[in-house]
Homo-oligomer: A and B are copies of this chain.
Amino acid sequence: MATPRSKAGTKGVPRRDRQQQILEAATREFGTRGYTAASLAAIAAQVGVTKTLLHQYFGTKEALYTACLAPVGERILDAVTTAMGSGGTTGETPLRVLNGIFTALEGQREAWFVLYDTTLPAGGEAAARAAGYRGAIDRLAADGTADLLRRSGSADPLDADALAYVWRDVVATLVRWWTKHPEQSPEAMTQRCARLFAAAAALTAAPGTVTGSG
């Protein structure tokens, strides 16, 4: 066996496995850096492979992103749907949703940010698909937040929009905090959230709130 002049040729990794490896690395890269800043070369390097292989297996960068998006979207959507579907006190719902999300995300927490990537090329198909998943999830969440506002006496539609917006980003923030504390289990996160909610309640319980109404 003479010294191979080129490193080309099979490495004994079947296509399916390689695709899976690539998808995982890509999800990590897209999730941490965002679509625009993510580099195909970096993803390829993580897998120990060349940029070209990504193109041959998945096509364009946007197609690769889409391939990462689908499973994440399904998983999160499922988690939220079942969490909101199962009966129980309304007060428990947000924590159930969080718990569902944490559980669905365990093992690949950055995946969340693939779904909520803000750097997608506007007008592209990737953005459209991501918006599709987010829309479905947001519709579920909107029910909950609208319910909250009704009970608290506000009928302003902008209030509803803002509250849904904030809630969604709170979830994102909690997930981001979680990615920075890898040792935390999903259950531990859920319980921590419960404590944080309680602390927030202590705030609004204080007297003299400035609840002017325009």
Interface residues of A (CB under 8 A from B): 34, 36-37, 88-92, 94-95, 119, 145, 148-149, 151-154, 156, 158-159, 161-163, 165-166, 169-170, 172-174, 176-177, 181, 188, 190-192, 194-214
Known: A173-B166, A194-B211, A198-B209. A91 touches B34 (CB 8 A): no
Question: Across the interface, do A91 and B156 meet the contact criterion of CB distance under 8 Å?
Answer: no
A205 to B204, CA, bound (A): 10
Residues of B within 8 A of A199 (CB): 145, 148-149, 151-152, 154, 159, 163
A177 to B212, CA, bound (A): 20
Question: Across the interface, do A165 and B177 meet the contact criterion of CB distance under 8 Å?
Answer: yes
Kindly identify which residue among B166, B176, B205 contacts A201, using a CB–CB cutoff of 8 Å.
Answer: B205
Residues of B within 8 A of A209 (CB): 91-92, 95, 194, 197-198
Residues of B within 8 A of A202 (CB): 148, 151-152
Residues of B within 8 A of A207 (CB): 89, 91
Of all chain B residues, the one with the shortest Cβ separation from A149 is B199
Residues of B within 8 A of A194 (CB): 209-212
